Chains A and B, each alone.
Chain A
């Protein structure tokens, strides 16, 4: 899909935006993670952000086990972690509290998560158009970052406000 034409309602790029106080930004991102009830239920916490990439931690918890013999985390917990981290990377790019919703998410499970170790997800919104954000994400144990547990690619719809006369579909 082609880029949306530049407009005054279009996204601010990271370069155009005013400098953001890192402490304020950290506080905003911490709050954004904790604002979501399911993130809290999973014990997710904001770890940090660097160059547009955001990292979120999922602590190991017995209640998240998917296989009681191997004690490996269920894929669903990894899915929730990666979905949440991908969504936050879009907020980081937008620099505005615009609602975003997952359109699709593909997760490849490269290896089972190691029991008793936290899983971190690091996501980057590498392309933002007027309507759609494209995100990639990696999940790993902080003790062995390069030995990835899972990778994901997602697309998110960005629900910007529209002028009243643009509410109708533009095609046909």
Chain B
């Protein structure tokens, strides 16, 4: 088993994915971390100026919001299923509902269906007010049980 496989297994066994998140360079690049609050796993993208897409509003780049939704969905697909490798994304559809302001953004992902090879995940992103989501996504991942 690879070193990454060990980290994945440790994350699944302990429920703590901090080491796994740190192992993935892109997640550090966008300031992504996982938080568990009230037993709920949330993805967080800490605000930083390089995440801006439109400096005149200013608003977050749509790609960064998509990345937050996709990353949160990956961890739901990994940690809430029997997957032992990083799930491979097949497709994602993102609906942009409001512009993302220059503050921290959160996301919650839920498994819609888990099959032997395919996991369907929905995810929602918000900023200060969870009742006013800024984006939603549907994603499909392939998982390979060992």
Q: What is A's interface to B at a CB cutoff of 8 Å?
A: 35-41, 62-69, 73-77, 79-84, 87, 99, 101-109, 112
Instruction: Tell me which residues across on chain B come within 8 A of A75, comparing CB atoms.
Output: 67, 70, 89, 92
Known: A79-B70, A102-B96, A105-B93. A37 touches B63 (CB 8 A): no
Are the C-beta atoms of A76 and B2 separated by less than 8 Å? no
Q: Is B52 an interface residue (CB 8 A)?
A: yes
Q: When the two chains form the complex, which single residue of B23, B64, B99 contacts A101, counting CB atoms closer than 8 Å?
A: B99
Closest approach, in angstroms, between the C-beta of A135 and any C-beta of chain B?
Answer: 12
Q: How far is the CA of A68 from the CA of B24 in the complex (A)?
A: 6
Closest approach, in angstroms, between the C-beta of B102 and any C-beta of chain A?
Answer: 10
Q: When the two chains form the complex, which single residue of B28, B63, B89 contacts A63, counting CB atoms closer than 8 Å?
A: B28
Are the C-beta atoms of A79 and B29 separated by less than 8 Å? no
Interface residues on B, range: 35 or more
Closest approach, in angstroms, between the C-beta of B46 and any C-beta of chain A?
Answer: 14
Are the C-beta atoms of B55 and A35 separated by less than 8 Å? yes
Q: When the two chains form the complex, which single residue of B29, B60, B86 contacts A64, counting CB atoms closer than 8 Å?
A: B29
Q: Is B54 an interface residue (CB 8 A)?
A: yes
Q: How far is the CA of A81 from the CA of B86 in the complex (A)?
A: 22
Are the C-beta atoms of B24 and A67 separated by less than 8 Å? yes
Q: How far is the CA of A83 from the CA of B23 in the complex (A)?
A: 26
Are the C-beta atoms of A80 and B96 separated by less than 8 Å? no
Instruction: Tell me which residues across on chain B come within 8 A of A107, comparing CB atoms.
Output: 66, 91-94
Known: A76-B66, A108-B90. A38 touches B61 (CB 8 A): yes
Closest approach, in angstroms, between the C-beta of A138 and any C-beta of chain B?
Answer: 15
Known: A68-B24, A105-B93. A80 touches B67 (CB 8 A): yes
Instruction: Tell me which residues across on chain B come within 8 A of A69, comparing CB atoms.
Output: 2, 4
A-B contact pairs, 10 of them (CB 8 A): A36-B52, A76-B26, A79-B67, A81-B63, A84-B63, A101-B59, A101-B96, A106-B91, A107-B94, A108-B91
Q: Is B49 an interface residue (CB 8 A)?
A: yes
Q: How far is the CA of A77 from the CA of B66 in the complex (A)?
A: 9
The 6 closest A-B pairs by CB, nearest first: A80-B63, A76-B67, A74-B26, A41-B50, A38-B61, A79-B66
Are the C-beta atoms of B55 and A77 separated by less than 8 Å? no
Known: A66-B26, A75-B92. A83 touches B62 (CB 8 A): yes
Q: When the two chains form the complex, which single residue of A41, A65, A79, A81 contacts B25, counting CB atoms closer than 8 Å?
A: A65
Instruction: Tell me which residues across on chain A come within 8 A of B28, comparing CB atoms.
Output: 63
Instruction: Tell me which residues across on chain B come within 8 A of A63, comparing CB atoms.
Output: 25-26, 28-29
10 additional A-B pairs beyond A102-B62, A107-B91, A107-B93, beta carbons within 8 Å, are A40-B50, A64-B29, A66-B26, A68-B24, A76-B30, A81-B63, A83-B62, A107-B92, A109-B89, A109-B91
Q: Is B51 an interface residue (CB 8 A)?
A: yes
